[in-house]
C-alpha cells in the first residue's frame, strides 16, 4: 500500500510514519468489518459498539499517512507520478470517504446501524484491498525476490 | 481533495437537514391522535442545543397574560424537582446524572461536550434544600438533607418522607416544621434499578390514601443500544409497598416516565413519558397517559400502539400486538420532566381541572420544541384541546441562547405555581398579577 515508495527521495520520517500507521488503520477497518458481520449474525450489541470504535480509530490512525500520501503524490515536486501511485491514492481516499460516512452511520443506535453499516464497512475494506492488489501488481518482481 | 471533502461535508449537512424539513406541524402532533411521520435514519447525529447564558439581573421567564413571576431561590446546584410540604415549606432536590454511565461509543464522547455547552450537564448538589418564607416575605434557604445520590422524586405520607435517589428509595422521619434532617436517619426502603442509569431520574408519587408508592424508572438506553438485558425492571412504573419496600411492575413499555401523579378528581394514576429519539424531528411524540395496571405501552418494540421500531432486534410481535397507545401526545422531543395537577391553583385561566407540564426542551431538532410550562385542560378526567403556554422565555427569541429550562412543578398553599429551573439554577414562583 505505501505508495510513497514511488518517491525518488522520500523523507525517512515519512516512510516511518506511513509504515507505522497505515497497517494499523487497515487492521482497524478490517476488524470493524468482521465485528459488523458478527453483529449482523448474532444481534449482540457488544459487537456493533466495538465496530464503531474500530472505524473511529481507523480514521484517526489514517490521518497522518493519508496526508503524507497526499503530499507525495500531488504536491512534492521531487516525485514522479506513475499511474499506480495515483491509483493507490484514489483507492485509499475513497476508502476514507466511505469510512467517514460509516462513522456517522455507526453513531445510530442498535440495529439502526444495519444494514448500511455493514455495507459501508465492506466497501471500505474492498477499496483498501484493491489498493493492496494495485500495490502488488505495480511492485517490480525483483524487489519481492530480495525480500 | 479538500474541495471534495468539503462537498462531502456539505452533502452530509444537507442530508441531516432533510430530517428537519417539517411536513408535520407541532400542533398536528398534539392530542389523542398525533400525526406520525415515517421514521427516517439520520446521517449526522441530530444535535441542536442553544448555548447557556446566565439570567441577567432582573431577567425572568415570560409568564402568560394575567400572571407574574418572581425568583424565590437562586444559586442552587441543578435544582430538578420541587415538592410542597403541608406547612408550605418547599423542598428542592438538587441533582444531576450520577456518573455511572460509561462512555461506550464515540457518539457519547461528542454529545457529552454539546450537553455541557447547553448548561444541561451542570453538576448536581446531591442534596435537598428547603425554602421557607420568613416574616418579611423573603424566601430563605435551608440545607435540608445532604449526601444523597441524585435525588429526584419526593413524597410525604404522614410523618414519613420518601426520597427516590437514582439507586434506591429512601425513607426519612419528618416532623412538621423540620428545617434539617440528618442524612444518617434515612432508611433504605428498596433498591431501584441503578446499573448504567442512562435515564437516571426516579419519579415518585403516592396513591391518594398513601397505600402504595409509584416509582417511574426510565429505560437504560434510547432504543436498546445497551442491550436488552440492561432493561430489567426499566421503562416501567414500579408499585412499592411503603412499609416493606416490596415492589412489582405496575405497567411497562414506558420509555422514560419522568413524572407520575394521581389526578385528585378521578384518583387515577397519570404519567408523562419521554419517547425515543433519532428517527426524525417529528418522531416520536412525547406523551401524557393514564397508566393502566398491567398495561404495556410499546417501548422498545413499538410506539403509539403498533408502530414497530426496526432498531430493536430480535423483534417481539406478540408484545407489539398488545401494546397500548397512550392517551395524549405532547409533540416530539419537548421532554416533559414535571407534572402538577391544577386543583388548588389560583392562576387565572389555569385554575380548573387540568394539568401543568414542564417541557424541558428539545436537544435534537430545529426549530426547538418545548422550553415552556404548558397547561393541558382536562374534561371528564381526560385531556382535551391544545395545551396553553403558562410560562416561556427560557430561550432567546432567535433560539441561539438558553437561560433556563423548567423541570419540577408544584403548587404552594396560595395556589401559586413553583417551577424548578435546572439550567438557570433558580426556583420561580408564578402567581396572579395584581
Chain A closest CA to B72's CA: distance in Å?
41
Q: Closest to A52 (Cβ–Cβ): which among B8, B105, B311?
A: B105
B chain contacts of residue A58, beta-carbon cutoff 8 Å: none
Chain A closest CA to B33's CA: distance in Å?
26
Q: pLDDT, tens digit, for every residue of A14-66? A: 989 999 999 999 999 999 999 999 999 999 999 999 999 999 999 999 999 99
**Residue B331, Cβ density class (10 Å: 0-12 exposed, 13-18 middle, ≥19 buried):** buried
Asked if B310 and A111 come within 8 Å (Cβ–Cβ), the reply is: yes
Backbone angles phi, psi at A35, to 5 degrees: -60, -40
Residue among A51, A108, A113, A116 with most chain B CBs within 10 A, to mutate? A108
Q: Residues near A12 by Cβ (< 8 Å), separated by ≥ 6?
A: none
User: Closest residue of A to B6, CA-based?
Assistant: A97
How far is Cα B149 from Cα B381, in angstroms, rounded to an integer?
Answer: 36
Q: Residues near B411 by Cβ (< 8 Å), separated by ≥ 6?
A: B84, B340, B342, B344, B345, B417, B418
Asked if A45 and B44 come within 8 Å (Cβ–Cβ), the reply is: no
What is the model's pLDDT at position A103? 96
What is the model's pLDDT at position B207? 98
Residue among B11, B44, B107, B108 with most chain A CBs within 10 A, to mutate? B107
Q: Residues near B284 by Cβ (< 8 Å), separated by ≥ 6?
A: B36, B275, B276, B303, B304, B307, B332
A chain contacts of residue B222, beta-carbon cutoff 8 Å: 109
* Residue ranges of chain B with per-residue pLDDT less than 50: 1-21
A chain contacts of residue B40, beta-carbon cutoff 8 Å: none
Count of A-B CB contacts under 8 Å? 69
Q: B408, B359 in Cβ contact below 8 A?
A: no
Q: B235, B309 in Cβ contact below 8 A?
A: no
Is any Cβ of chain A less than 8 angstroms from the Cβ of B223?
yes
Which three three-digit cell numbers place residue B262? 394521581
Q: B273, B327 in Cβ contact below 8 A?
A: no
Residue among A40, A45, A48, A57 with most chain B CBs within 10 A, to mutate? A45
Q: Closest to A112 (Cβ–Cβ): which among B5, B41, B314?
A: B41
The domain ranges of chain B are: 38-432
On the question of pLDDT at A144 being above 80, the answer is no
How far is Cα B362 from Cα B50, in angstroms, rounded to an integer?
Answer: 10
How far is Cα B338 from Cα B318, in angstroms, rounded to an integer?
Answer: 32
Is any Cβ of chain A less than 8 angstroms from the Cβ of B264?
no
Residue among B106, B220, B222, B310 with most chain A CBs within 10 A, to mutate? B106
Is any Cβ of chain A less than 8 angstroms from the Cβ of B246?
no
Which three three-digit cell numbers place residue A33? 468489518
How far is Cα B9 from Cα B102, in angstroms, rounded to an integer?
Answer: 30
Asked if B225 and A43 come within 8 Å (Cβ–Cβ), the reply is: no
Q: pLDDT, tens digit, for every residue of B273-309? A: 999 999 999 999 999 999 999 999 999 999 999 999 9
CA-based torsion, B381, B384, B390, B392: positive or negative: positive
Q: Cβ of B248: how many Cβ atoms within 10 Å? A: 10
Strand order in the sheet with B236-240: B202-206, B213-217, B236-240, B247-252
- Under CATH, domain B38-432 is a member of which superfamily? TolB, C-terminal domain (2.120.10.30)
Chain B closest CA to A19's CA: distance in Å?
23
Q: Cβ of B419: how many Cβ atoms within 10 Å? A: 29
Q: What separation in angstroms does the CA of B151 have from each of B78, B166, B168, B217?
A: 11, 6, 9, 13
Is any Cβ of chain A less than 8 angstroms from the Cβ of B114?
no
More confident residue, B132 or A147: B132
Give alpha helix (H) positions in chain A. 12-42, 45-70, 83-105, 116-138, 141-146
Report the SS3 class of residue B145.
strand
DSSP state of B364: B
How far is Cα A140 from Cα B6, in angstroms, rounded to an integer?
Answer: 37
Give residue ranges of A with CB < 8 Å to any B CB: 43-46, 49, 52-53, 56, 70, 74, 93, 97, 100-101, 103-112, 116
For residue A141, the cross-strand partners are none
Q: What share of chain B is helix, strand, coil (3-state, %, to 5)?
A: 10, 40, 50
Chain A closest CA to B311's CA: distance in Å?
4
Asked if A103 and B106 come within 8 Å (Cβ–Cβ), the reply is: yes
A chain contacts of residue B44, beta-carbon cutoff 8 Å: 104
Report the SS3 class of residue B131.
strand
Q: pLDDT, tens digit, for every residue of A3-23? A: 444 445 668 899 899 999 999
Put simply, the chain B residues between 14 and 53 with a CB less than 8 A from any chain A CB are 41-45
User: Closest residue of B to A40, CA-based?
Assistant: B313
On the question of pLDDT at A110 being above 60, the answer is yes
What is the model's pLDDT at position A113? 97
Q: Buried b / exposed e across B182-201, counting CB within 10 Å, b at 16+?
A: ebeebeebbebbbebbbbbb
Is any Cβ of chain A less than 8 angstroms from the Cβ of B227?
yes
The domain ranges of chain A are: 10-146
B chain contacts of residue A75, beta-carbon cutoff 8 Å: none
For residue B145, the cross-strand partners are B128
Asked if A45 and B105 come within 8 Å (Cβ–Cβ), the reply is: no
Is any Cβ of chain A less than 8 angstroms from the Cβ of B111?
no
A chain contacts of residue B226, beta-carbon cutoff 8 Å: 45
Q: B51, B404 in Cβ contact below 8 A?
A: no
Q: E strands of B2-138, at which residues? A: 30-31, 51-52, 62-63, 67-74, 79-84, 90-94, 127-133
B chain contacts of residue A101, beta-carbon cutoff 8 Å: 8, 12, 43
Is any Cβ of chain A less than 8 angstroms from the Cβ of B231?
no
A chain contacts of residue B278, beta-carbon cutoff 8 Å: 108-109, 112
Chain A closest CA to B192's CA: distance in Å?
24
Amino acid at each position: 500500500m505505501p505508495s510513497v515508495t514511488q518517491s525518488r527521495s522520500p523523507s525517512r520520517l515519512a516512510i516511518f510514519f506511513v509504515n507505522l500507521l497505515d497497517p494499523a488503520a487497515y487492521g482497524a477497518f478490517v476488524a470493524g468489518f468482521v465485528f459488523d458481520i458478527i453483529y449482523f449474525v448474532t444481534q449482540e450489541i457488544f459487537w456493533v459498539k466495538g465496530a464503531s470504535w474500530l472505524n473511529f480509530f481507523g480514521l484517526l490512525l489514517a490521518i497522518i499517512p493519508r496526508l503524507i500520501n497526499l503530499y507525495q503524490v500531488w504536491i512534492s515536486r521531487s516525485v514522479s507520478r506513475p499511474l499506480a501511485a495515483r491509483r493507490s491514492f484514489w483507492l485509499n481516499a475513497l476508502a476514507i470517504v466511505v469510512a467517514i460516512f460509516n462513522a456517522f452511520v455507526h453513531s445510530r443506535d442498535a440495529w439502526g446501524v444495519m444494514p448500511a453499516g455493514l455495507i459501508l464497512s465492506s466497501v471500505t475494506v474492498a477499496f483498501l484491498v484493491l489498493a493492496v492488489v494495485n500495490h502488488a501488481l505495480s511492485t517490480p518482481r525483483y524487489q519481492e525476490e530480495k525480500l | 481533495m479538500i474541495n471534495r471533502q468539503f462537498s462531502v461535508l456539505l452533502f452530509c449537512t444537507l442530508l441531516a437537514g432533510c430530517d428537519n424539513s417539517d411536513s408535520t406541524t407541532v400542533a398536528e402532533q398534539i392530542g389523542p391522535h398525533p400525526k406520525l411521520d415515517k421514521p427516517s435514519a439520520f446521517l449526522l447525529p441530530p444535535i441542536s442545543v442553544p448555548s447557556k447564558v446566565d439570567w441577567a439581573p432582573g431577567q425572568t421567564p415570560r409568564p402568560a397574560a394575567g400572571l407574574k413571576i418572581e425568583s424565590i431561590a437562586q444559586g442552587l446546584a441543578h435544582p430538578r424537582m420541587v415538592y410542597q410540604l403541608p406547612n408550605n415549606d418547599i423542598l428542592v432536590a438538587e441533582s444531576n446524572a450520577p456518573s455511572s454511565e460509561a462512555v461506550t461509543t464515540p457518539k457519547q464522547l461528542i454529545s457529552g461536550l454539546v450537553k455541557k455547552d447547553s448548561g444541561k450537564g451542570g453538576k448536581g448538589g446531591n442534596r435537598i434544600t428547603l425554602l421557607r418564607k420568613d416574616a418579611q416575605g423573603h424566601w430563605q434557604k435551608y440545607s435540608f438533607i445532604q449526601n444523597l445520590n441524585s435525588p429526584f422524586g419526593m413524597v410525604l405520607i404522614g410523618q414519613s418522607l420518601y426520597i427516590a435517589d437514582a439507586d434506591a428509595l429512601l425513607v426519612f422521619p419528618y416532623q412538621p416544621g423540620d428545617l434539617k434532617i440528618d442524612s444518617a436517619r434515612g432508611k433504605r426502603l428498596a433498591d431501584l434499578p441503578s446499573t448504567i442509569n442512562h435515564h437516571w431520574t426516579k419519579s415518585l408519587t403516592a396513591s391518594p390514601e398513601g397505600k402504595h408508592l409509584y416509582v417511574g424508572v426510565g429505560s437504560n438506553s434510547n432504543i436498546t443500544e445497551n442491550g436488552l438485558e440492561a432493561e430489567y425492571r426499566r421503562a416501567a412504573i414500579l408499585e412499592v409497598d411503603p412499609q416493606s419496600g416490596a415492589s412489582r411492575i405496575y405497567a411497562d413499555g414506558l420509555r422514560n416516565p419522568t413524572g407520575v401523579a394521581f389526578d385528585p378528581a378521578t384518583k387515577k394514576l397519570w404519567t408523562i413519558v419521554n419517547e425515543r429519539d433519532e428517527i426524525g424531528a417529528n418522531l416520536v411524540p412525547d406523551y401524557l397517559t393514564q397508566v393502566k395496571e398491567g398495561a404495556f405501552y410499546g417501548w422498545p418494540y413499538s410506539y403509539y400502539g403498533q408502530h414497530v421500531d426496526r432498531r430493536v432486534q430480535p423483534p417481539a410481535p406478540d408484545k407489539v400486538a398488545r401494546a397500548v397507545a397512550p392517551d395524549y401526545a405532547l409533540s416530539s422531543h419537548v421532554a416533559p420532566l414535571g407534572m402538577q395537577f391544577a386543583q388548588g391553583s389560583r392562576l387565572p385561566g389555569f385554575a380548573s381541572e387540568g394539568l401543568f407540564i414542564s417541557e424541558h426542551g428539545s436537544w435534537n431538532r430545529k426549530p426547538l420544541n418545548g422550553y415552556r410550562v404548558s397547561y393541558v385542560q382536562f374534561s371528564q378526567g381526560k385531556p382535551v384541546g391544545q395545551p396553553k403556554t403558562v410560562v416561556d422565555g427560557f430561550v432567546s427569541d432567535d433560539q441561539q441562547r438558553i437561560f433556563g429550562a423548567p423541570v419540577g412543578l408544584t403548587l404552594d398553599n396560595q395556589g401559586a405555581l413553583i417551577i424548578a429551573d435546572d439550567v438557570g439554577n433558580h426556583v420561580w414562583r408564578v402567581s396572579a398579577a395584581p
